[in-house]
Amino acid sequence: MELLFDEFATRYVRGEHPDVREYLERAGPEREELGRLLDRFLEAVPARATSEEEIVLMQARLEQQPPILLLRLRRKLGREAVVAALVGQLRLDPGKSDKVGGYYHDLEVGNLDPEPVDRRVWDVLADVLEANVRGLAVFRPEPPGMTASAYMREPTMPALYERVSVFPEEANAIEPDEIDVLFLGP
């Protein structure tokens, strides 16, 4: 545990961005104790710079908006551009762009479980959106109307998304293809 703390602390003071979650994971049964020690350390040392992904993640939580959508809008990219990148870089059939678009929409608004999504999809999204998109996908906003607290900041983008899947339901009834496997897992 001390080795983990020492490694985290020295990386932090060197200006790196060690991931607290990774160290807690590695601590196993000493996770809670390491967490308390890291908390004390983080309170004492000068705060590191906030990353853009963290800003997007917090903004998403505060406004109850999907983080991947917020990130794409921050990048001023249309959904079609992201879908085109997925189809192109993954060498998928351009004739199935609509299907890819449906899955991407579901992923973007939090309708699709990010867990089974193939690493290659995340790699393309990281490339086109210039961020760790997989890390952002962990936050999935509650459906509209379920939010208990409202953020006082003026909503920047009202009615940003619809939590309605645009993916055609009949797709579930047919044999899974390469695109299904990429987004839903084997």
Give the binding-site size for other proteins (rule: CB under 8 A): 43
Burial of 117 (0-12, 13-18, 19+ CB in 10 A): buried
Q: What letter would DSSP give residue 17?
A: -
Closest separation in Å from C-beta 6 to other proteins: 8
- Separation between Cα atoms, residue 74 and residue 40, nearest integer Å: 34
Does the footprint of other proteins cover residue 149 (CB under 8 A)? Answer: yes
Whether the CA torsion 117, 120, 126, 128 is positive or negative: it is negative
Contacts of 184 (CB under 8 A, 6+ apart): 116, 117, 176
Q: Which CB, 52 or 162, lies closer to other proteins?
A: 52
- Tokens for 152, please give them: 């006082």
Closest separation in Å from C-beta 69 to other proteins: 16
With contacts defined by CB under 8 A, name the span among 36-44, 93-101, 107-115, 170-178 that binds other proteins. Answer: 36-44
Q: Which CB, 13 or 181, lies closer to other proteins?
A: 13
Residues that bind other proteins (CB under 8 A): 1-2, 5-6, 9-10, 13-15, 17, 20-21, 24, 33, 35-51, 54-55, 57-58, 61-62, 138-139, 149, 151-153
